[in-house]
Chains A and B, each alone.
Chain A
Amino acid sequence: MHRNHVLVAMDAHTIAQGARAVRDALMRNLEMTSLTSEVKVVETGSLGIYNRGVVLVIFPENVYYVGVKVEDVAEIVSEHLIKGRVVERLHYTDVPVEKAAEMGAAPRFGKQQRVVLKNAGIIDPESIEEYIARDGYEALGKALTEMKPQDVIEVVKKSGIQGRGGAFFPTGLKWSFAAAEEAKQKYIICNADEGEPGTFKDRLILEGDPHCVIEGMALAGYAVGADMGFIYIRGEYRMSIDRLNRAIQRAKENGLLGENLFDSGFNFNIEVREGAGAYICGEETALIESIEGKRGEPRDKPPFPPSVGLWGMPTIVNNVETLANVPQIILKGADWYKSMGTEKSPGTKVFTMVGNINNPGLIEVPMGTTLREIIYDIGQGIPEGKGFKLAQMGGTTGGILTGAHLDLPMSVEALREIGSGLGSGALLVVDDSQDVVELVENFVEFFNHESCGKCTLCREGNGRLLELLQRINSGKGHVADLNLMEELAVTMMKGAFCGLGQAAPVPILGCLKYFRDDFVRKIEAAEMAAAA
């Protein structure tokens, strides 16, 4: 292993200014000081710095030297590489920002902490051996040979992990409910329906590291006394479905699913069930109806699934990300888990960043990272020099955040305090060139389309809201419509049957609260144009 890498830029400019001679001097010097096994010289193309002579970068410190001459090499080696002191005379600090990001200072990864995603993008997801090589199935082995089911629940409870499906219900507590039920058959369901617009974390976990979800489900099964699991997955996620099926097959072949695992008498099997395109099937009771082959309409609660679930039996429904955390919690302990994140929301959270943002994509950060760090450090801000208008956290049913919330820590408790939540972890960033009223119409179009139609308030309420918004956007609205919308939204929030109808008003009310002026301006401008 080399402790340092020295990159020598070798492009037409630097070569013309003596880069080859500097490289040779560097190699000779490293040999003389016996550093060749510790320091590696790498030739690269242009580093994006021109007319500054020969350019070197030393990693991992990420120090740039410019104008390096053959006679400077000995000093760089003895000062920097041996004594660890930067040679200020040649030090170049004016590194173009994007170049610095590209060259390893990447804040994109810097503020991240990968727990759930520790294997994603690193191992071959088709290889169970690579998963095992990175401590895979060790937690299951430990639980089955050294722990009682009750102990597993205790560790999960103590870790403080809350469900990542959006409601953030304490996972250990949920498991203890199902464990307490007496029943011939219990089930574990992994919720991989992931329909919330902007969300794709579960797909990524399943595609990149399917075994950690399988292991998490088996641990849940052992903890509550279930020997059968289902993964309910969006039908559109073809690749995840194929990978999961193959992963399940490999786990069976290796005796990590099936009968009498680790000689403990515990059996566990998993089947994949595909959804057929209905957002509401992400709601746990609608999901259960769908597995039962029916229309996915939510059931009355209580009773809750841990008592009466799939085919009437006690059932745990957990999100993919929740289950993916479990093996590491069992292996490394509750205290390790609690050392990350905030006191009330331990652990990390996977977010998907979408919309008007320079670095869209998937990130994993400790709970409590501020919105500003996420958008501006990891996300690298808003493109085209535009300003920040709003962010929506948690998908289309998520709450609205404004510039005033940029320093708010993204944790369950901080968002709860402002009447919002983390939801699915999708973060939609919206720049100031966007029309908020049209955006809200887009939200309501979604709800109107996805309402399952079971209850009138949600079915008719979303329809009415959509009419009102279309009216405003086509220039025929009245300021009084805004009050009507608010009333309707509040009624839906209180009276709708399930989470969809109750959450749909959240972003609408948020936008009306923070951006009422935008609505009023639009209405008045249209009125004025009509009068003129």
Chain B
Amino acid sequence: MQDLTRVDEIVGRYADTKTPLIYILKDVQKEYGYLSDVVLTHIAKKVDIPLSEIYGVATFYSLFTIKPKGKYVVRCCNNAPCHVKKSKEVLEAIKSYLGLEVTETTECGTFTLEFTSCLGLCAVAPVMMVNDEVYGNLTPEKAVAILKDYKMKGQSNA
């Protein structure tokens, strides 16, 4: 059972904000990593919005996740400006290095692979993000080298 006291505290933070749901979900996700059923049910009670509606919001926006994710979330951009700079080759290299399809998480829980929509960094395309760090001017080799570093970091911290 998850500890829900932090949820209460976060809901309290936005007592003065009109229509605060998205802010609450953001902060709760930051705290708990993802939006579990238990957490969403609790929020619904607290803010008096039907669970179905909260669930609808949580699944509508791509920054929210209702599934737990890996320690490092790798988000590749594949929008048109990155596409013409060969982002697909980079994506394929990452897929085969991590052994993942997009939206999957490694069994050890280290990596999750996702798409991101254009980050407005297309001038240094192709681009990927690992958690909050942005990497540009990628080649398949460069991308894999960056992920290797993360893998080592992940293991040494474990």
Q: Could you list which residues of chain A lie within 8 angstroms of chain B, going by C-beta atoms?
A: 194-200, 203, 235-238, 273-279, 290-296, 311, 352-356, 360-361, 392, 396, 426, 428, 430-431, 434, 438-439, 442-443, 445-446, 449-450, 452
Is there an interface contact between B62 and A439, defined as CB atoms closer than 8 Å? no
- The residue on A at minimum CB distance from B56 is A295
CB-CB under 8 A from B18, the residues of chain A are 311
- The residue on A at minimum CB distance from B25 is A276
Is there an interface contact between B63 and A277, defined as CB atoms closer than 8 Å? yes
Give CA–CA (A101, B123) in the complex, Å.
19
| Contact (A293, B84) CB under 8 Å given A194-B120, A197-B117, A200-B122 | no
Which among B20, B26, B61, B83 is the interface contact of A442 at CB below 8 angstroms? B83
The smallest C-beta distance from A462 to any residue of chain B, in angstroms, reads: 15
Task: Judge if B125 is at the interface, Cβ distance under 8 Å.
Answer: yes
Is there an interface contact between A197 and B118, defined as CB atoms closer than 8 Å? yes
Number of interface residues of B (CB under 8 A): 35
Give CA–CA (A442, B125) in the complex, Å.
15
Task: Judge if B2 is at the interface, Cβ distance under 8 Å.
Answer: no
Q: Which of B74-82, B105-113, B138-146 binds A?
A: B74-82
| Contact (A360, B64) CB under 8 Å given A290-B22, A293-B21, A392-B80 | no
- The residue on B at minimum CB distance from A297 is B60
The smallest C-beta distance from B24 to any residue of chain A, in angstroms, reads: 9
CB-CB under 8 A from A237, the residues of chain B are 120
CB-CB under 8 A from B26, the residues of chain A are 235, 274, 276
Which among B25, B57, B60, B79 is the interface contact of A198 at CB below 8 angstroms? B79
Is there an interface contact between B61 and A277, defined as CB atoms closer than 8 Å? yes
| Contact (A354, B122) CB under 8 Å given A276-B25, A293-B19, A442-B83 | yes
Is there an interface contact between A439 and B80, defined as CB atoms closer than 8 Å? yes
Give CA–CA (A438, B22) in the complex, Å.
36
Task: Fill in one digit per residue for B3-47: 1 if any A CB lies within 8 Å of its CB, else 0.
Answer: 000000000000000111111011000000000000000000000
Q: Could you list which residues of chain B lie within 8 angstroms of chain A, going by C-beta atoms?
A: 18-23, 25-26, 53, 56-57, 60-64, 78-81, 83-85, 115-125, 132
The smallest C-beta distance from A448 to any residue of chain B, in angstroms, reads: 12
CB-CB under 8 A from B118, the residues of chain A are 195-199
The smallest C-beta distance from A199 to any residue of chain B, in angstroms, reads: 7
Residue among A199, A446, A450 with the most chain B CB within 10 A? A446
CB-CB under 8 A from B81, the residues of chain A are 197-198, 354-355, 426, 428
Which among B60, B78, B83 is the interface contact of A278 at CB below 8 angstroms? B60
Is there an interface contact between A291 and B19, defined as CB atoms closer than 8 Å? yes
Is there an interface contact between B78 and A442, defined as CB atoms closer than 8 Å? yes
The smallest C-beta distance from A306 to any residue of chain B, in angstroms, reads: 21
| Contact (A197, B19) CB under 8 Å given A277-B63, A354-B122 | no
The smallest C-beta distance from B137 to any residue of chain A, in angstroms, reads: 11
The smallest C-beta distance from A265 to any residue of chain B, in angstroms, reads: 25
CB-CB under 8 A from A392, the residues of chain B are 80
Which among B25, B62, B84, B120 is the interface contact of A356 at CB below 8 angstroms? B84
CB-CB under 8 A from B56, the residues of chain A are 295
Give CA–CA (A164, B123) in the complex, Å.
21
Give CA–CA (A116, B116) in the complex, Å.
29
The smallest C-beta distance from A167 to any residue of chain B, in angstroms, reads: 20
CB-CB under 8 A from B115, the residues of chain A are 449
CB-CB under 8 A from A428, the residues of chain B are 80-81, 84
CB-CB under 8 A from B120, the residues of chain A are 194, 199-200, 203, 237, 352
- The residue on A at minimum CB distance from B64 is A276
Give CA–CA (A426, B121) in the complex, Å.
12
Is there an interface contact between A293 and B57, defined as CB atoms closer than 8 Å? yes
| Contact (A446, B80) CB under 8 Å given A197-B122, A292-B19, A361-B123 | yes
Give CA–CA (A238, B131) in the complex, Å.
13
**Nearest 5 CB-CB pairs, A to B?**
A200-B120, A276-B61, A293-B19, A277-B62, A197-B79
Is there an interface contact between B79 and A430, defined as CB atoms closer than 8 Å? no
The smallest C-beta distance from B28 to any residue of chain A, in angstroms, reads: 12
CB-CB under 8 A from A431, the residues of chain B are 84
21 pairs, A vs B, C-beta closer than 8 Å? A195-B118, A196-B118, A199-B118, A274-B26, A275-B61, A277-B62, A279-B117, A294-B53, A294-B57, A295-B60, A352-B122, A355-B85, A360-B123, A360-B124, A428-B80, A428-B84, A431-B84, A439-B83, A442-B80, A443-B80, A446-B117
CB-CB under 8 A from A236, the residues of chain B are 63, 116, 119
